[in-house]
A = this chain, B = another copy of it.
Amino acid sequence: MLHVNAQRLLADMAALAEIGATPEGGVSRPALSPADLAGRDWFRQQVEAAGLTFRQDGAGNVSAILPAADPTAWTLLCGSHLDSVPDGGRFDGALGTLAALEALRTIREARLTLPVHLEAIAFTDEEGELVGLLGSQAVAGDLTPEILAHPRGGRDKLLAGLDRAGLSETSLLGARRDPDSLLAFVEMHIEQGTRLLDAGLDLGVVTAIVGIRSFWLTFTGQAAHAGTTPLARRKDALWGAAEFIGRARDLVAEQFDPGVVNCGILHAAPGAFNIVPGRVRLALEFRHGSEATLDTMQSALLALAENVAASFRLALNIEEASRAIAAPLGERVIAALEAAADHLDLGHTRLLSFAGHDTQVMSRIVPAAMAFVPSVGGLSHNPAEFTPDDDVIHAADVLLHTLLILAEAAR
């Protein structure tokens, strides 16, 4: 059975982890920072040393290409990203990028003749130091001047990064690729949770990237003297918010598993030891893999908020904050990932990705899916994130066989 070169892959992981290395053992390679650019240079060297074709597009996405004999063939894309959050870990993004590079090297060395171009791509700014999912949005044609006008990290940082990388807003907006030229996209990644370790499994095949909906809930009662106002007469906005927090958790746990809910921000006003809170603003966010279920969750959670507010004689204002659509992934790619795992005799399960990835953007234009390997403690965006060598190798082997399965099916 064909396997990747495990030692070479692990050596690459170690070498890349030196670039932007932090004292805590992680890496800090925010998108288009000098460290990120150094990472891309290093990637280019590996690509060229392997006899693969290097390509950089107008969005700064860097690729290794193993061309098919027929220049008009489809391109089968795989990869992830080389950037990290500030003070992030060695595996998030790096694993998927280097597994893709290694899979291509292995196929080239095995002199397999495939009916598709293979391309291992590292997307620019997945993590959001500048825009978030920037490179994949550019490729998918989702990028607009409006998005670039209000980048999450601020205009100055975006422009400085583009300048450092020799890119421009014009080049970014020109990086769109023809969906008809692409066969599929596959991404390998560390799990940002512990479902796999908890279940003792090797691989999680992602069937959907969750949709995320968020709301500001404002409970308004009446600020009052915390001594002279009897409990029974209070309209304490914090009582309402507190009751909602607990009941929302129980509601989602009981009725919407594996969906999740979070109340991550709470502002209570006026905010004094001796004043009953008259107003509480609460940030509500919930996630699920199905838009239909998200609709039901939303109705249930907002009705709960209304009921709780009424029971404490509070007014409630609901304001939508943001919405990310759930991305169901490509069944054909999912099936290929599962077949590859079976072929390699790896234990696997289907699960949802509760975090965003370039795969969700690519899935809008091409059949796309991704798979997770275990991450100890479920850590991510953390210098201590760690995936054992065996799981790193599994990731590359699964990708290798998934590419072969998808390529063969394209004959």
Chain A residues proximal to chain B, CB less than 8 Å: 191-195, 210, 212, 214, 225-233, 236, 238-239, 241-243, 245-246, 249, 252-253, 257-258, 260-266, 268, 271-277, 283, 285, 287, 321-322, 353-355, 378, 380-381
User: Are A239 and B249 in contact, CB atoms less than 8 angstroms apart?
Assistant: yes
Given known contacts A258-B230, A354-B225, is B273 in contact with A214 (CB within 8 Å)? yes
User: Are B354 and A194 in contact, CB atoms less than 8 angstroms apart?
Assistant: no
Given known contacts A192-B225, A231-B253, is B212 in contact with A321 (CB within 8 Å)? no
Query: Chain B: which residue is nearest A232 at the CB level?
Result: B253
Closest CB of chain B to A279's CB: distance in Å?
12
User: Are B228 and A355 in contact, CB atoms less than 8 angstroms apart?
Assistant: yes
Give 20 pairs: A residue, B residue, CB < 8 Å, sorted on A.
A191-B228, A192-B225, A194-B230, A194-B233, A212-B274, A225-B354, A226-B260, A226-B262, A227-B260, A228-B354, A228-B380, A230-B258, A230-B260, A238-B263, A242-B242, A262-B275, A264-B271, A264-B272, A265-B272, A272-B283
Residue from A238, A249, A287 with most neighbouring chain B CB atoms (10 Å): A238
Given known contacts A225-B381, A232-B253, A378-B228, is B260 in contact with A265 (CB within 8 Å)? no
User: Are A262 and B274 in contact, CB atoms less than 8 angstroms apart?
Assistant: yes
Residues of chain B with a CB closer than 8 A to A272's CB: 264-265, 283
Query: Chain B: which residue is nearest A216 at the CB level?
Result: B273
Query: Chain B: which residue is nearest A284 at the CB level?
Result: B273
**Pick from B214, B253, B266: contact of A266, CB under 8 Å:** B266
Closest CB of chain B to A195's CB: distance in Å?
7
User: Are B252 and A231 in contact, CB atoms less than 8 angstroms apart?
Assistant: yes
Q: Give Cα A276 to B268, complex, Å.
A: 18
Q: Give Cα A36 to B272, complex, Å.
A: 26
Residues of chain B with a CB closer than 8 A to A268's CB: 264-266
Closest CB of chain B to A32's CB: distance in Å?
23
Residues of chain B with a CB closer than 8 A to A249's CB: 231, 236, 239
User: Are A245 and B239 in contact, CB atoms less than 8 angstroms apart?
Assistant: yes
Q: Give Cα A285 to B225, complex, Å.
A: 12
**Pick from B195, B227, B380: contact of A230, CB under 8 Å:** B195
User: Are A193 and B266 in contact, CB atoms less than 8 angstroms apart?
Assistant: no
Q: Give Cα A322 to B243, complex, Å.
A: 27
Closest CB of chain B to A236's CB: distance in Å?
8
Q: Give Cα A262 to B225, complex, Å.
A: 10
Q: Give Cα A92 to B260, complex, Å.
A: 50
Q: Give Cα A192 to B228, complex, Å.
A: 6
Closest 8 CB pairs of A and B: A227-B354, A226-B262, A192-B228, A242-B242, A242-B245, A193-B228, A228-B354, A273-B285
Closest CB of chain B to A253's CB: distance in Å?
5
Q: Give Cα A273 to B258, complex, Å.
A: 19
User: Are A246 and B253 in contact, CB atoms less than 8 angstroms apart?
Assistant: no
